[in-house]
Structure 1
Amino acid sequence: MTDKQERQHQEDLQRLRGFRLLDDDFMTKCFEGETACMELVLRIVLEKPDLQVTDVRTQVFVENLLNRSVRLDILATDSEGRKINVEIQRADHGAGKRRARYNSAMMDVNLLPKGEDTDDLPETYVVFITENDVLGGGLPLHRISRYDHDMGTPFDDGTHIIYVNGAYRGSSPIGLLMHDFACTDPAEMHYNALADRVRFYKESKEGVAIMCKVMEEMREQSLQEGLEEGMKVGRKESAVETAKRMLADGHLSLEKIAEFTGLNLDEVEKLQTAENA
C-alpha cells in the first residue's frame, strides 16, 4: 500500500467512525437483507408490534421509460404483502411532500402485473426518516392518508405516507429509535439489533473492509460523474466557439448554425446579440 493509499485508508476509517444510520449510504448497507432490523424499525414506526418482514432490498431502481425514474433507499415486504419504502433524508429540500407522493405513485405502477385487477394492489407505505423536523410541530410522527372531506371519513385506498422526525427525542420507542439513528457509537444505542449491525460495520474486520470498499466505489463514481460533467462542459464550450466563428463568417443562417453545432436556436440568437453589442 502506497503512502497515498494509506492516508486515504486512514481517512476512510475516520469517516466510518462518524457514520450514523441517518447517513443513507451507511443505513442502506446496514439494512441490506436484514429483516430483523427492518422489522424492529417498522414495528415502532407503523405501530404494528406483530408485523413480520419477509424481504428487504436496498437501492431499488424503479424505472419509468417515459419520465423520471426513482431509486428507493429500502423496499420491504411484510407477511401481509404490504410494500414499505423507507427513505433517509438529511436535507430538508429532499423530503418534499410531492417527492413522497411520487415515490408512492411509482411503487403502485410497478406492483400490479398485467391482467390483474386494481383491487389487488397491495397496501403501500412511504416512510421518510428526516434528520430535522421537516413538517414542524415537534411531533415524532406525521401520518398522512387520503381523506373524504365531504363524508368526513378516510378514503382508505391503501396508500400511506409517514414522516418520522429524526430530531425527536424521549423515552418512547420512537424517541429511543431516533436517538439510535443519530448515534455514532453502537455502545450508546438502545436497540441491540441495530447496535449489533452498526458494530459489525464499524468494528469487525470483515465489516470495515466492506465499508471501505463502498467508500472507494463512491469516490470512483463521483470522479466518473465529474469527468462526464467536465466533458459535457468542454463540448458545450467548443460548440459555442464554433458558433461564434460561424456568426463572424456570416454565410450561414442562425438555424443552420444551431443544427451544425448542436446548440438551440435561442442560444445562437443570444450569441449573435452579444457579438453585435
Structure 2
Amino acid sequence: MIFIDATWPGDWPQKFLMHDLLCSNPEEMIYDEIRKRSTYLKRKEEGMMTVDERWEKIVEERERKVKENLLKEQEAKNRENARIMVEGGAPTQMISQVTEYPVQEVERMKSEYQKTGTIKM
C-alpha cells in the first residue's frame, strides 16, 4: 500500500491528479475525464440522484449493522446479568424484569444452576 500526501506543494507527477481529486469545483479541475464525471455527479440532477441513492444505501446498511451489533451486545449483557443474578440468588421476577427474559426461562436457568452449578444460555 502506498500513502501519498496529496497536499505536498512540490512538483511531482501526480500533482495535478491529486489537485483534481481534492477539488470540490469541477470547473477548476485539470483533467477532462475527471471534470466531466464530477460535473455530471455534482451538477446534473440525474448524477446527484445516483450519488444520493448510493449514499442512502450505504447509510442504511451501516445503520442496520450498528443496530445488529447493539442488539448482540445487549443480549450478551442480559445473559451475563442473568447468570450473575441466578448465581447470587436474586428473585425470579427481578431477574426477568432486569433481563427481559420470560419467567419460565429464568426458572429454567435457576433449576439448571441448582442441578449442575452452571447455566447454559
- TM-score (norm. length: structure 1): 0.32
CA gap 1:180/1:195 in 2 versus in 1, 3 angstroms: same
**Would you say the 8 A contact 1:169–1:176 is kept in 2?**
no
SS in 1 for 2:3: strand
Unaligned runs of 5+ in 2: 90-112
Higher radius of gyration, 1 or 2: 2
**Which contiguous aligned blocks of 4+ residues in structure 1 show a shift greater than 6 angstroms?**
none
Matches within 5 A, 1:241-260: 241-249=81-89, 251=114, 252-253=116-117, 256-257=118-119, 260=120
Post-superposition CA distance 1:27-78 (Å, at most 9, x none): xxxxxxxxxxxxxxxxxxxxxxxxxxxxxxxxxxxxxxxxxxxxxxxxxxxx
Partner residue in 1 for 2:18 = 178
CA distance in 2, matches of 1:196, 1:217: 25
Larger relative helix fraction: 2
CA distance in 2, matches of 1:226, 1:194: 34
Matches within 5 A, 1:147-186: 162-186=2-26
CA distance in 1, matches of 2:69, 2:85: 25
CA distance in 2, matches of 1:200, 1:169: 29
- TM-score (norm. length: structure 2): 0.69
Partner residue in 1 for 2:72 = 232
Tell me the C-alpha RMSD between the 2 structures. 1.9
CA distance in 2, matches of 1:209, 1:171: 37
1:187 to 18, 21, 27: 27
Unaligned runs of 5+ in 1: 1-99, 101-161, 262-277
SS in 2 for 1:173: coil
What fraction of aligned residue pairs are identical, expressed as a percent? 22
Number of equivalent positions: 97
The one of the two structures with greater contact order (alpha-carbon pairs below 8 A, sep at least 6) is 1
Post-superposition CA distance 1:202-257 (Å, at most 9, x none): 0112111100101111221121012101211221121012111231246343xx33
Partner residue in 1 for 2:60 = 220
CA gap 1:197/1:207 in 2 versus in 1, 3 angstroms: same
- AA paired with 1:240? E
Tell me by how many angstroms 1:177 deviates: 1.3
SS in 2 for 1:221: helix
CA gap 1:196/1:169 in 2 versus in 1, 3 angstroms: farther
SS in 2 for 1:190: coil
CA gap 1:248/1:177 in 2 versus in 1, 3 angstroms: same
CA distance in 2, matches of 1:170, 1:196: 26
**Would you say the 8 A contact 1:169–1:178 is kept in 2?**
no
Partner residue in 2 for 1:205 = 45
Tell me by how many angstroms 1:170 deviates: 4.0
